[in-house]
Structure 1
Amino acid sequence: MATLVEQLAAFTQVRHADLPPAVVAECKRLLLDSIGAALAATDSPKGRIGIDYGRLQGATGRATIIGTGDRLNIFGAAFANAELINALDMDAILPPGHVTPYVLPGALAVAEERGLGGQDVLRAIAVAHEMSWRLGKAMDYLRDTQDGKVATPPVYGYSSTVFGATAAIGMLQGLSTEVMAHALGIAGSISPVNAQMAWFDHAPSSTIKYLLGGALTQAALTAAHMAALGHRGDRMLLDDREVGYARFMGTRRWEPEVITAGLGREWHFPGETSYKPYAHCRVLHALADVLIDIVRTQALRREEIDGIKVWVEGMVERPIWLNREIHDVMDAQFSIAHGIALAAHCPPTARAWQDPALVFQPSVLALMEKVTHEVHPDYVKLLTGHGGSRPARVEVRARGTTFTGEKRFPKGSPSPDPSTAMTDAELIAKFRDNAEGRLAPAQADALVDAVFGLEAVRDFGTLMALTAPAPRHPPATAPSAALA
């Protein structure tokens, strides 16, 4: 009987013609959203550091760093793009959590380096996300419950995405099933550790975040290349419960049947992919939806607000969300008090949530002092009723009145309420906001067309070339002395 690693390796041989239309469509949406998130992050602290480190890795090549025009070797470009996609925390969400920043950058770099076509890229994106979803579902969940109470796992993280990331790279390298199995076995053995719970509990926390995207991307590149060069991987790594991957990665749950059930025939990731309308931790999105609606509907001015109370998810009673010390824009990505205060200012775009001018605006910092929270009393009940539930209740005291609102599913999530899903038009609008000031409008239009027509792209490098910043032309005439 084939091992789990061998079955996953066989899955990577799926043909483009075998991808259902819904899978192809979701891959395009993920690609466009990720490029937009990266463009928006090019001047963020984490994004700049990722670019600088990518440049340190040396020689020029054919792989593009999004938003810069730099063309480096695949290792430098993939590292930088991983950091850029996740820098503002506005990338897509898929179990086990964040997936795309880890599985996409290596594939982009290898496809561009090899001059591959859009169909190859679509296959790689699809397999990487489906594989990551399956491994994530086989392991602990961040929102685990037990006996009607929150039971957050003691060890957690997104390191299992190294398998999907390696698969995508190996597919674009043309690895055979045999060599791919070795690549996946190597990937598991060099997988980054799951340090996310320590990150949750130490605040103000590390700006590395829950997992350094660039590091995982390079582990995947290493695994694929080592197998191609002749290294042997551990094919039994996922089958051995005693000393294998599940054990040394710290998961309490291990349900390997989820990994292989319907593999190659059933695709689950499109139905569980969520998109972020705000550059902020997904935990606060339903609350932000409600609060922004109250502020706009009632035309509330910030100085009129006497207090804001919110009811939150049960899993967020940890230092990173309770933190009120905002030293860096990344601290603001997770703080409940700051996020609620900022939402009351109704940021005009997704990326505006991470604009330092707004993050550190005195009225935002002052309003933080008026924010309180409790755990939503029906959190566990609603979550167990539907896994996409993020129950949110908001009370705003202003003008001698209390304004209230509630929501179960945040905008951007697939749910029983069709209005919560982000349409293609909404994702394109988010992309255009993220691209504004980075790309010329015609360039952004061409990029949207290229992504949604990806099957017809013969050389993926032509698409990546569109992510280079628009040239800045000096004014035709010097300003007059009166205007200078």
Structure 2
Amino acid sequence: MDMNEQVLANLSAFVADTRFEDLSAAVVDETVRIILDSVGCGIAGTTHKRGQIGVDYGRMQAGTEATILGTGHRASILGAAFANAELINALDHDAVLPPGHVCPYVLPGALALAETRHASGRELILATALAHEISWRIGKAMDYLRDIRDGKVEPPPVWGFASTIFGATAAISKLQGQPAEVVGNALSIAAMISPVNAAASWRQHAPPTTIKYMLGGWLAHGAITAAHMAGFGHRGDRQIFEPEYGYPRFIGTRRWEPEHILDKLGSEWRFPSESSFKPYPHCRVLHAPLDALNQIIDQNRITPDEIEGIKAWVEGFLERPLWMNRDITDVTDAQFSIAHGLALGAHQFLRGPEWQKPERVYDPSVMRLMEKVEHVIHPDYADSLTKDRASRPTRVEVRARGQVFVAERSHPKGSGAPGSDSYMTTAELVEKFTINAGSALSEERSRHLAERLLGLADVDDVAEVIRGAGTA
């Protein structure tokens, strides 16, 4: 068996054989934090047009088996998974993990299936942990947005998050209790029906599509389909990961390093150390500059009307139409514009759904300040990234009151190990959750739901908890 066939065989065994008891306390804790954060983002997504569209489409798939987050609606497994995938990613407030966004794609199908099967909290945690570990490992084997070539950041011509379909499929297979052979067929079929990687096109065009880098509901559908096709008896392709004609070729990656998938698979869990959370509902590339901007404003009590100009030193690949866009014609555009994001951040609106309400996005004061924002590439970005893949060196200067106020950051809030300044504590995640869930639930219900989600490992039937994330 060559290495590429071994990838499928080892991943299949990893999914089929891993038990909850095999997870360390750190893996369980981080998985629960991701589920908590994602559910909150999903509830908040009901305030956004993209989330509302996802709900409308999900409800077309008739059924009452599964909960659509933040609403009084129920739908089929497929309908709820589609809607929840769109809801979780609607505000771009969800957690990130290489290859980029993972939870909006891998969690919705698992939530829907766990609810309908009355799975335990431990089963849902295990399925979600497997999904994130597999997504991280396959993502590391392929091209990455922040790849460094010859000392420069060189994003690949084709990239995206389509490979998360393997993690999403693994979660469904695990909840169904599929044996390794069936899991292998499911993963192979997932490869054959994987969405394309269209994110490079998205970042090069303005105005970009409002489905952003991927229609999350479509990938969630694909994962559910792949697992069920294998369960019903379809055979997969055991050579699907070979690079000449298999998945690496037709998904468009220039790099295929399967050793990243196989290295200590099952004995070392890698995703918790690279998982990070987003305090701002904005593209992660702007989080370190927003941290620096907030420091300046908080320490000096600067008001937006006092600001004469903002200059930011940012990541090394942002000279693309998506991030340079100043023509905000849809609220989704505001999730990626550097100039608009810093102008909005300077107004200190409550971080959460408030940031993407049309009256905030198009606030005349925000739009005026946006014209006073400029950015350049941070000169140390490539070197810093080579030494530390989590680093995001940034500098922000604010001109106000005839002075120049300066702040710098090396890592954005929400990243880093426990105990570091950039780590987002569970208490901070609960506060974020309460704000997000408060868009549809009372504060009392929001805090009760947070407690139930944090105690997921002790829940015998997750259906009650998931249904508590609806409004009925």
Instruction: Give TM class, smaller chain.
Output: over 0.9
Structure 1 CA distance for aligned equivalents of residues 85 and 350 of structure 2:
26
1:82 maps to 2:90: no
Other-structure match for 1:113: 116
| Equivalent residues of 1:50, 1:81 under 8 A apart | yes
1:59-74 to 2 correspondences below 5 Å? 60-74=63-77
Contact 2:141/2:261, CA 8 A, preserved across alignment = yes
Within 5 A, what are the aligned runs for 1:205-244? 205-238=208-241, 240-244=242-246
Query: How far 1:385 sits from its partner (Å)?
Result: 1.4
Partner of 2:42: 38
For residue 54 of structure 1, the aligned residue among 44, 52, 58 is 58
Give the Cα separation in 1 of the matches to 2:468 and 2:169.
Answer: 26
Match in the other structure for 2:106? 103
C-alpha displacement of 1:415: 5.4
Counterparts of 2:121 and 2:197, CA distance in 1: 33
SS at match of 1:315: coil
Moved more, 373-382 or 432-441: 432-441
One-letter amino acid matched to 1:190: I
Q: Distance in 1 between matches of 2:363 and 2:346?
A: 12
Match of 1:381 among 383, 387, 408: 383
Residue aligning to 1:451: 453
Q: Distance in 1 between matches of 2:239 and 2:252?
A: 17
Deviation at 1:349, TM superposition (A): 2.3
**Alignment partner for residue 33 of structure 2, among 29, 32, 56?**
29
Distance of aligned partners of 1:416 and 1:171 in 2 relative to their CA distance in 1, 3 Å threshold: closer
| 2:191 corresponds to | 188
- Alignment equivalent of 2:335, drawn from 323, 333, 336: 333
Deviations 1:141-192 (CA, angstroms, capped at 9, x unpaired)? 1101111112110100000000000000111111111111100000001100
Question: What residue in structure 1 maps to residue 362 of structure 2?
Answer: 360
In the other structure, the counterpart of 1:473 is none
Please state how far the C-alpha of 1:354 moved relative to its aligned partner: 1.4
Alpha-carbon offset, residue 79 of structure 1? 0.1
- Aligned match of 1:296 in 284, 287, 298? 298
Partner of 1:129: 132
Structure 1 stretch 74-83 or stretch 395-404: which is displaced more? 395-404
Q: Counterparts of 2:453 and 2:326 in 1: how far apart (Å)?
A: 40
Counterpart Cα distance in 1 of 2:338 and 2:419? 25
- Are residues 1:17 and 2:21 paired? yes
- Tell me if the contact between 1:414 and 1:420 (Cα under 8 Å) persists in the aligned partners: yes
C-alpha distance in structure 2 between counterparts of 1:99 and 1:399, whole Å: 43
Q: Shift of residue 446 of structure 1?
A: 2.2
Is the counterpart of residue 402 in structure 1 residue 404 in structure 2? yes
1:162 maps to a residue whose letter is I
Letter in 2 for 1:37: C
Question: How far off is 1:69 after superposition?
Answer: 2.5
Corresponding residue for residue 143 of structure 2: 140
Query: What is the DSSP-based 3-state SS (H/G/I as helix, E as strand, rest coil) of the residue aligned with 2:309?
Result: strand
Would the aligned equivalents of 2:71 and 2:440 in 1 still touch at CA under 8 Å? no
Q: CA deviation at 1:416?
A: 9.5
Preserved CA contact (<8 Å) 1:287 1:394: yes
Match runs of 1:406-421 below 5 Å: 406-414=408-416, 418-421=420-423
Shift of 1:299: 1.2
Report deviation, 1:419. 1.1
TM-score, length of structure 2 as denominator length: 0.97
Distance between the aligned counterparts of 1:235 and 1:3, measured in 2? Answer: 9
Residue 278 of structure 1 and its aligned partner are, at CA, apart by 0.4
Does structure 2 conserve the Cα–Cα contact (< 8 Å) formed by 1:3 and 1:236? no
TM-score (norm 1): 0.95
* Aligned equivalents of 1:298, 1:354: Cα separation in 2: 26
Shift of 1:417: 7.5
Equivalent in 443, 446, 462 of residue 441 of structure 1:
443
Relative distance call for 1:46 and 1:74 in structure 2 (3 A) is same
Cα offsets for 1:22-62 (capped at 9, x unmatched) = 0000111000100100111102100000000000112x222
Residue 87 (structure 1) shift: 0.4
Gaps of 5+ in 1: 471-484
Counterpart CA distance in 2 for 1:416 and 1:432 is 22
Equivalent residue number for residue 202 of structure 2 = 199
Secondary structure of the residue aligned to 1:420 is coil
How far apart in 2 are the matches of 1:74 and 1:301?
Answer: 48
Larger gyration radius, structure 1 or structure 2:
1
Rounded to whole Å, the distance in 2 between the matches of 1:294 and 1:417 is 23
Aligned residue for 1:42, secondary structure, equals helix
Return structure 1 stretches of 4+ with deviation > 4 angstroms.
none
Which of 265, 268, 285 is equivalent to 1:283?
A: 285
Matching residue of 2:468: 466
Superposition RMSD in Å: 1.2
**2:174 & 2:277 partners in 1: Cα distance?**
26
| C-alpha contact (below 8 Å) 1:158/1:211 kept by paired residues | yes
How much does 1:72 deviate? 1.3
1:96 shift after superposition: 0.2
Letter in 1 for 2:454: F
Deviation at 1:437, TM superposition (A): 4.0
Unaligned runs of 5+ in 2: none
Q: Is the 8 A contact 1:446 1:466 kept in 2?
A: no
State the AA in 1 paired with 2:294.
Answer: I
- What is the CA–CA distance in structure 1 between the aligned matches of 2:465 and 2:98, rounded to whole Å? 28
Q: Could you tell me whether the CA contact under 8 Å between 1:4 and 1:236 is conserved in 2?
A: no
Instruction: Quickly say closer, same or farther: Cα 1:21–1:416, change in 2 above 3 A.
Output: closer
Q: Deviations over 1:172-224 (max 9, x none)?
A: 11111111110000000110000000000011100011011000000101101
Aligned to 1:252: 254
The residue identity in structure 1 corresponding to 2:70 is G
CA distance in 1, matches of 2:417, 2:180: 37
The amino acid of 2:76's aligned partner reads N
Residues 271 and 419 (structure 1), Cα distance of their counterparts in 2 relative to 1, 3 Å cut: same
Secondary structure of the corresponding residue to residue 28 of structure 1: helix
Greater CA drift, 139-148 or 277-286:
139-148
Cα distance in 2 for residues equivalent to 1:336 and 1:415? 27
